[in-house]
Structure 1
Amino acid sequence: MKRFIKLIIQLIVFAIVFAALYLAVIIVWGTLTDYRPDEITELKIGGNALPGELTDSTFTLLSWNIGFCGLGAEMDFFYDGGKMVRPTKQLTEKYTNGILKYLQSVDSLDFILLQEADKNSARTNKQDEIEMIQAALPKHASSFGTNYNVQFVPLPFTNPLGKVEMGQLNLSKYKPESSQRYSFFSAYAWPKRLFMLDRCFVISLFKLDNGKDIVLMNTHNSAYDAGGKLREAEMPIIRDLMIEEYKKGNYVVAGGDWNQNPPDYDLDEVDKKYPAVLREKLDASLFPSDWQVVYDPENPTNREIDAPLQKNKTEVTIIDYYILSPNIHVEQIKTFSQNFEFSDHEPVYMKIKINHKIYQNEQ
């Protein structure tokens, strides 16, 4: 009996030592390989779009969080209360093909803003979605800004997520003058920050024939943010730059996944196919009163992923939209419902017209 008890104690001690060593190795490796982007990073511009000044005054846009081609209707996700860590190879292929086919169907749009595009991540079979999307839209210019680059995510411990590289992709029929990645900077404490996202927004500048720029911003603000403290720190960063560009007489469009409801989001207006829910709202006082928060109030853009999609049960909300400077007129805004088949987000289309008569520094 004593020998049995001794063996049990030895096994427990071994398990504790092994777990401690495992955690130590993971933390040391995470520290040595930690992705630490600069505040501003110049991005490579790919694709075959031709340079030149933009002469049109009307432009079309699409913003879509593609859920790294891994969060379609059959999926839940462990970070959000679900059980699944990654899709099967078959589901990854289904979601990827569906997303690529849809993007090809809207290749006539002037600007496309994508969030959560994976690159060589274990969870999506190490496929390079940036390269795949560029190949699907060969006439578009592209700029990719990384917001998640961890060599090994150790969670969940029984089935680690592994290597993740992900980011935001700006696509356009026109070659931008420049594209840059702006850091939001992580507020997570060490060592948690080693394994979390480094949030950012990606800016592309397009010269107009009136000498001004279209300033196109692609943002993906923090989730997993109880109390909204991270977003509270992030919003003034992008807001200040938007206002600064507008004061130069430029035309500012910021779109993406804000991970917060629009200020005047109304549950009663949302289609009743799924139960709509409230999240924290964007603070309306952040922007001057003549700035515009533009969204489709009737159609949800995001679903909960604590379980696979279930009609009449899965909760939905609106967190994907645009914020525009006052010198832009909105001609159409529409969320295109795909019933969350390929992603946990829906694509949001907008048509705008530049108002040459209104800008901050009139001549």
Structure 2
Amino acid sequence: MNHLSGREAGLHKGVVYALLAAALFGASTPFAKMFVGHVSPVALAGVLYLGSGIGLLICFLARALIQGGGTDKPAALARPDLPWLAGAVAAGGVAGPLLLMIALRLMPASSASLLLNMEGVLTSMLAWFVFKENFDRRIFAGMVLIVAAGALLSWEQVPALGVPWGAFAILGACLCWAIDNNLTRKVSASDPLQIAMVKGLVAGAVNIAIALGLGVALPDTSTVLAAGAVGFCGYGLSLVMFVLALRHLGTARTGAYFSAAPFVGVAISLIMLAEAPGATFWIAALLMGGGIWLHLTESHGHEHVHDTMEHVHAHSHDSHHQHEHDPAWDGSEPHAHPHRHVPLTHSHPHYPDIHHRHEH
């Protein structure tokens, strides 16, 4: 058996995680729109995030009861992770939604939809040029096709943007979410359920506090429960999948796959409204499919060096994890514990995952 087969399987899992994250988030959009007009945007953002955090907290506690003291528990967030996570929550859970709410007061939602596609672009730009994540022409071309598809889906509905202040606020929100995505990658080796839970609880509490501070009335109990359920699936479970994808694929590639979310939302909206999709929809679908195909068929392999590294995450003993254990280890895999990677030079196909963040 090839000693890299487990690693290659992990790469394919990353693609599945990213597409699941996009599908969950995209599917939540048509349902979230049902509350628009009945609930203040700030309060709605708070309920969605809080529903995500509370739902994941229940899952977190249930998992702890089931696992007990076993060695197969995911790696918990550690003190060095906290500054990265705090930055991600502040940027993506607080500043981003606040800027979006400001923008929606200044411009039509249809215009905002077009500009929101800039999140994927800015996420990749930061990953490539600030955090030095690897990319090639094939990946760049795939990203261009995916973003073009998202833009085309909303282009038919976009009136003149008018005064640009709303557009600037949307771009600021997209930049905040791009920063969030790149900072979250820094902690993606830790427990994704815990990461998403903390982000949901903190962002939800802050947005609810902002709504109350502005004198906004909170919705009734049935609306809170319904919106919370949408938030749990579309924000909570989606974020868990997104963090897992970051671990396997890196930020830019995960962001590219996640850009399929608007397409999922539009497709579900067409089904719910029983509308026949027009030519624009099918052209966008073709562009989206082409971009995803370019990413799925990527093959990036070369001789590379793994420097000495110490970290903690859930792992099995593959070619990248050859280390000793104390006698108390019961042999179960995957398991999580602090471990040290010794220098290693080899060649195989790989993505910029948590073990392949090297220069080219």
TM-score by length of 1: 0.27
Larger radius of gyration: 1
TM-score by length of 2: 0.27
Instruction: Point out which structure has higher relative CO (alpha carbons under 8 A, 6+ apart).
Output: 2
Per residue, is there more helix in 1 or in 2?
Answer: 2
Per residue, is there more strand in 1 or in 2?
Answer: 1
